Each structure stands twice: as C-alpha cells, then as structure tokens.
Structure 1
C-alpha cells in the first residue's frame, strides 16, 4: 500500500498544507511600508506584502517632518484655534462661514488658511454637517482639522510637497 494514505492520511495532509500556507500570511493584514522605506529603493523592490512601487507611488503623501521649533509654533497656534472653535461647536454652529469668521477673528492671514464644507462620502446620501479647515504656518507647517456635531479635531503636522496641508479629495 505504498503511496496510499487513506482518508485519515489525506485529511492530515490537507490540514498541514493549509496550516503551512497560513503561517506565511501576517495575522493582522498586510504590512504597508511607511516613511521608513527608503526613497532610494529600486522601483521594482517591494517591502513585505506591499504592491511593487508602493513607496514610490505614495511619496506624494509624505509630509514634512516638523522641527522642534516648528512643532512648538504649531502647538501654540492650535492652542489659539481650539477654544474658539470649541465655542462654535458648543453653540451648535458648524458652518464653513462661521469657522472662517472665527479664524479671521484670531487675526490669521486669510491667505494662510482655508475652510470648506465637509465632503459627501460615497456611502452616504447627504453631506455631513460640519467644516474642514487648514491653517498654514512657517514654511511647511499645518494646523488642520474639522468641526462637526460629534467632535472637534485640531491637528498639527507638516505639509506635503505635492498638496500642502489637506490631502485632495479624489472620490
């Protein structure tokens, strides 16, 4: 009976081959390279389970790394913006116009900030209530966020060379 495994032997082989195949897959989904992937990597090189050229194709999203001085400047600016927008939110006012007036009321240069309405995600039938804002500071700093009924978000980061503070909406 050489070469014959019987039903029990086949079940063991199937189980082992399935287990072996799963052992090579990450437990929590694919690992996508982040900023730590060197920009000088050959274009055909792939890191982990990422598609070929993932790092090269996503370099446009990489943001300027803030220096300690830039981070401190951004934190000071965010500390000025947050209480003013928190007042708007507490009053139930989430319009882009009110957000713009609030930022102007802080004495910010209107050429250095922008405010837009929330965008309609493809899975919703209506545009969410709220406003999205960006305030540029220094050479490459951003304070970004949104104001809406369920939250106020104020975040300090560096700008991206390709698009600035707010990533363009594509869908």
Structure 2
C-alpha cells in the first residue's frame, strides 16, 4: 500500500476535453502511410478511441465538472488508495487501479451511457481528467498489453 500523509497539499486539476466532431472523415485508402508490419493496423485497431459528438462531449463535461472538485479533495488529503478514490466516486461506479503499488499514483475510468469515457489519474499535487470515446471493443477501459 502506498504511503499516505495527513498533511493537506495543494493539487492542480488538468482537464482535457476534445472538440466534438461534426462528422467522421473518411480515412485515406491509397495505401500511403508509414512503413509498418503487416496487419499492424487491424491487430491494434481495438485500441483506437472513437470520437465524441456534441451530445457525448456535453455529457462528459458535466461529469468532469462534478468529479473534478471531488478528486481534488481526495488528492489534497494525500490518501492515494484505491478504496478512498472508489468511495469518493461511488455513484459513478468507477474502475480504479493502482498500476504501480509502490507509488502514490492511481488511474480511474468512468463509463457513461452512450460511449462517453471520463479517464484520468491522481498523483501528489496533480489530478488529470480526460474525456474520450470508447475503444474499438466498445469499452472505456483499456487493459495493459505487452
């Protein structure tokens, strides 16, 4: 379990919200592009996030406005435990993980209806929140790969 501290520390919150897409652009099919291994694109296509329309972006912004002060308070307590973060965001049913158990760093994923994902992480002094679409498998959570 990572160390905690009882001292409140200021935390900065960074929010990354992309502009909504108006329509989807066709991908070039002329065969041009980088020199990559055969089937690289199709093997890794599931990792590509889908763009968000205006409605999904608005829903994500509303959620970010709701969770940002909550996560800032969690960060400022110095308690970077999975349980504390999960409890703070309980009504949104987040997936919270600590990829590096020896470090004070957490990642979280919140899945909203309609393919909107609120993703982010917390570490001492910083909360980062990102808005994105689902991956190619229709999930907000992308597991670690080798």
Q: In the aligned structure 1, how far is the partner of 2:62 from the partner of 2:79? A: 24
Deviates more, 1:86-95 or 1:157-166: 157-166
Displacement after TM superposition at 1:51 (Å): 3.0
5 Å-filtered alignment, 1:156-171, equals 156-162=131-137, 164-171=139-146
Q: In the aligned structure 1, how far is the partner of 2:34 from the partner of 2:130? A: 30
- Contact kept, 8 Å, 2:56 with 2:114, in 1: the verdict is no
Does 2:78 align with 1:92? Answer: yes
Question: Which structure has greater helix proportion?
Answer: 1
Displacement after TM superposition at 1:163 (Å): 6.2
Q: Which has the higher contact order (CA 8 A, sep 6+)?
A: 2
Q: What residue is the counterpart of 1:38 in the other structure?
A: 27
5 Å-filtered alignment, 1:59-70, equals 59-70=45-56
Q: What residue is the counterpart of 2:61 in the other structure?
A: 75
- Contact kept, 8 Å, 2:75 with 2:125, in 1: the verdict is no
Count of aligned pairs between the two proteins: 123
Structure 1: gaps (5+ residues): 1-35, 121-125
Pick the structure with greater CA Rg. Answer: 1
Candidates 99, 108, 117, aligned match of 1:133? 108
Normalised to the residue count of structure 1, the TM-score between the two structures is 0.62
Alpha-carbon RMSD? 2.5
